[in-house]
Chain A
Amino acid sequence: MSNPKSKIENPKSKGRYFWLALLCCIGMLGLPAPSMGQATVPPPDVASYNIDATYDPGTYTLTGQQTAVYHNRTAEPIPNLVFHLYLNAFRNASTLWMREANLGLRGYSFDPNAPGWVRIDQIALAGGTVLTVQALDDDETLVEVALPQPVAPGDSVSVDIAFTAQFPKAFARTGWADNGDFIFGGQWFPKFGVWEEGDLNAGAWNAHPFHANSEFYADFGRYDVALTLPQNWVVAATGTGAPTVVANVDGTSTHTFVAEHVIDFAWSASPKYREMTRQVEGVDVRVVYYPRQRAMARRALNATADALPLYNAWFGAYGEGLYPQLTVVIVPPDGGGAGGMEYPTLFTVGAMGGAMPACLRLIEVEAIHELGHQWFQSVVATNEAEEPWLDEGFTDYATVRAMNALYDGALVDCLGWNFSYLAMHRLQYTMFPDTSMAGAAWDFGALEYGIATYSKPALALTTVERTVGETAMQQFLSTYFDRHAFTHPRAEDVRAVMEETLGAEVAAWFFDQLVHDDGVLDARVVAIDADQATLEREGDLCIPTTVRVTRDGRQAPETIAWPCDQPTLTIDGAPRMVEIDPGDAIVLDLNLANNRLRRAPDPATGLGLVVRGLRFWQDFLWGGAVW
């Protein structure tokens, strides 16, 4: 268990110190500093795994041997080990996860006849000392292994684990479908929790029983994974190097994958998979799909290829330049439960069903969203369980930006009518606006969770962007990503970057009123008459804004400030039209339609209605007879 490194390193800050040291050295040599997009210094491994597993598609079971190494990069000794056994959440209908999820997730239901579980058959130290496993929750989704002696700071511990897992029928990210011809392996092996330094040197494992809303949290490390499956199966997996395939004499093949500097390892396999590939800005993008889903695969590939350069430019190079490949798994129609999920260097598409018209961009938005997670959570590895808004929120904000850039924002663009992705978030947010973003996954009901972690953060960050401008926002985002790549930032770290790049005032309303509180706002023009206009602000969300006033005659519109501590505003002088927030910056406003009002109906618009209505009614009366 000895570690050749004598220096105690903090995984949260090591990458940053390396960068600073490197920049200093380069600066002293008079060389140009590396620009964003170049490969960064790799993070130190904390949790690494060497797994040799065989999957039997007939029984949906997997038997595995894994050597797991945990490096203590903290200043405190680690007295024990804690492992997640996520699959045990699906072993029956009465687990905590099942009770919270009401036996289903995102429209897909648990099949009690096809449960999932994982069992540690034996665990021993590298020297052979057998260890004892102790469940930390009733469902055994979290177990503790006592160590004969603590892992000293700077040291590491290596354990050999024999385990068996059975996959459920896919309904919650992981499992099999298509009568066993499809398998997606997610959260499938005994996986370390995250040891965190605490105050006063009182460190602890940050690991929770598996909750329904919760996603995951893990340390970076190296994965060497050998998967043995029937020979004709195509396998896709997390990886940062070329996989190798060896045919075995028993009719199976062993696929070996290597993934470095990642927080997880997921894989998928099917004898029916086809694949298409494309290189995008130096990244090999590979899509695996069922033959019938070729059109869907092409759409997902196009969206991924279009969005990848945007994210590279906005946040930093994909995987900080350390991930040369990206895999997209199109799940089959009855495996939709495994769709719409992100893993390092791999994500799945298909949560919302199979084929759909091109004007419904659900495939595109799913691909673009899951791609965004390659930055926010796979590299900036926030705690999805305790602070889910940090990864989902930033990712969905990125998705809104990408949808705006690629499709003029339109999630739906059918028959000449459109509906934007941002508007979909506004619709969801206005259903339940009194929700703070901060909170652990299990603090929220299903609807609240969607609002707190997806919609509200996406709207709040869009409001920030439109308030401070794209350039300042860009500085905030790239600073946040660069500074916290390959670390585990918390909300306070985000706040620090926001204060530094956008100022304390913006950080104050963003964090104090939106992240940690449930501030809402509805600014509206209450009335306009011949003398004055009356404006009113309802709700306690205080974001400064402006009002544009157009008066009679040929005067240019006048813009006036409306401080947010002023609940009402009266504008004198016969305004013809009043517009609150004319730049549409505050998309969190509960009703945007009442932000603008004319004093009187507009005759020209009225005539325009008659004209358009005439054509509509002509068509109606002809009943399509005139073509």
Chain B
Amino acid sequence: MKNEEWRIETAAPTLVGAYLRRVVQRPRAWALSYGVTTVLALGLALLMALAWSPLTRYPAFNQILEKRSLDLLFDFFSLEMGSGGVPWGVLALVLALPVWVLARLIWTWLEGGTLAEYAAAQTLSWRAFAQAGWRWFGVFIALNLTGAVLVGVTGGAALLLAVFAYMLAPALGWAVAGVGLALAGLFATWIEMARAVALTQNERRVFQALGSAARAMVKQALPLAALVGGGLALYGLLYLAHRWLMDTLPLRWWLPALLIQQAYTIARLGIRLTRQAGQVGLLADLR
């Protein structure tokens, strides 16, 4: 690999505002992440819409979706609507898993370029962005799988324990669920930090990257907690506002719904990318 342009040249900025500026000023990762996923999602959404289009003759269908009411669900399922034609819905469901795998792979590839872009002193060229993606693709897949296992096992065990604890005492159940959720969040952050460590320290060994990430998390515990916690709080506020707005919109008001939903989606993607830029920045501070 001759082109080493993606390597870190300078210390990253240390304030959230600076991380956000970096994300905004280098919008390639934001646009690619959003664009790739949206194109794939739109394909599946169109297939499902084709499948469901005949159902829109029944106002009961709108009632189920708009009021989020299951009251007429069984009536609806027992309607005689005939069959035939292209099974668009089945096609969407069949394609869902392979498209999901494809999207995850693309995202993993993008993460190499994204982190390299935020770590670099200047905006990367397209070529450097792509090279970083390929260089870290395997390492990030290994880290992501490790994270999936950690989060899955922790989350699953916490869920089971929480249900059992809830039977004994509801407060205990919620406490266990809270601890489990916090642990899952901690592990997810650990994996994110490990990706940033791997890239900024050119560490291709997964366990060494995890070890370095753990040490970095301890050293930068407060700023990292502020970064993650602040992002989480902002995301929570955005979610509530989005949910409140969406609940007031009838299904037929598709344009305002599109604007609100996509603005929300783009914003939370920005929160994630700001957090990643921040993680790179915190690691740079340690050097």
Interface, chain A (partner B; CB < 8 A): 292, 295, 354-355, 412, 416-420, 422-423, 426-427, 430, 577, 579, 591-594, 596-602, 604-618, 620-623, 625-627
Contact = CB atoms under 8 A, between A and B. Distances in A.
B45 A617 contact: yes
Contacts of A430: 74
A446 B37 CA distance: 53
A355 B103 contact: no
A622 B107 CA distance: 9
Interface stretch (B2-10, B65-73, B118-126): B65-73
B239 to A, nearest CB: 9
Given A418-B70, A419-B69, A613-B49, A295 B170 contact: yes
Given A601-B53, A613-B48, A614-B42, A596 B59 contact: yes
B71 A627 contact: no
A610 B46 CA distance: 6
B167 interface: yes
B199 to A, nearest CB: 17
A601 B56 contact: yes
Contact of B44 (A594, A608, A613): A613
Contacts of B134: none
User: Ordered nearest first, which 4 A-B pairs have the shortest CB separation?
Assistant: A613-B45, A617-B41, A593-B75, A423-B71
A333 to B, nearest CB: 8
A596 B60 contact: yes
B52 interface: yes
Given A355-B166, A598-B57, A605 B62 contact: yes
Contacts of A295: 170-171
Nearest to B71: A423
Contacts of B173: 355
A416 B269 contact: no
Interface stretch (B12-20, B207-215, B253-261): B253-261
Given A611-B254, A611-B258, A602 B56 contact: yes
A612 B79 CA distance: 24
Given A598-B57, A617-B41, A621-B99, 13 more contacts: A355-B169, A420-B69, A420-B71, A593-B60, A593-B72, A604-B252, A608-B253, A613-B45, A614-B45, A617-B40, A621-B41, A623-B104, A627-B235
Nearest to B55: A601
26 contacts: A295-B171, A418-B67, A426-B71, A427-B74, A592-B72, A593-B75, A598-B58, A601-B56, A605-B56, A608-B253, A608-B257, A609-B45, A609-B48, A609-B65, A610-B49, A611-B257, A613-B44, A614-B45, A620-B41, A621-B99, A621-B103, A622-B107, A625-B107, A626-B265, A626-B268, A626-B269
Contacts of A591: 75, 78-79
Given A622-B37, A626-B269, A617 B44 contact: yes
Contacts of B254: 604, 607-608, 610-611
Contacts of A418: 67-71
B286 interface: no
Interface of B: 37-38, 40-42, 44-46, 48-49, 52-54, 56-62, 65, 67-72, 74-76, 78-79, 96, 99-100, 103-104, 107, 166-171, 173, 231-232, 235, 250-254, 257-258, 261-262, 265, 268-269, 271-272
Contacts of B75: 591-594
A165 B70 CA distance: 48
B56 A623 contact: no
Contacts of B71: 418-420, 422-423, 426
Contacts of A617: 40-42, 44-45, 48
A476 B97 CA distance: 58
A606 B53 contact: yes
Given A602-B57, A621-B100, A612 B235 contact: no
Contacts of B103: 621-622
Nearest to A599: B57
A608 B254 CA distance: 4
A623 B100 contact: yes
B96 A620 contact: yes
In this complex, which of A354, A621, A622, A625 has the most chain B Cβ atoms within 10 angstroms of its Cβ? A621
A608 B262 CA distance: 13
A627 to B, nearest CB: 5
Contacts of A426: 71
A58 B264 CA distance: 64
B46 A620 contact: no
A622 B40 CA distance: 11
A402 B48 CA distance: 39
Query: Could you say which of B57, B76, B103, B262 has the most chain A C-beta atoms within 10 Å of its C-beta?
Result: B57
Contacts of B235: 627
A606 B45 contact: no
Contacts of B58: 593-594, 596-598
A243 B152 CA distance: 56
Name, among A412, A423, A426, A577, the residue most crowded by chain B CB atoms within 10 Å (CB to CB).
Answer: A423
Contacts of A627: 231-232, 235, 268, 271-272
B77 to A, nearest CB: 9
Contacts of A602: 56-57, 252
Contacts of B107: 622, 625
Nearest to A598: B57
A597 B79 CA distance: 12
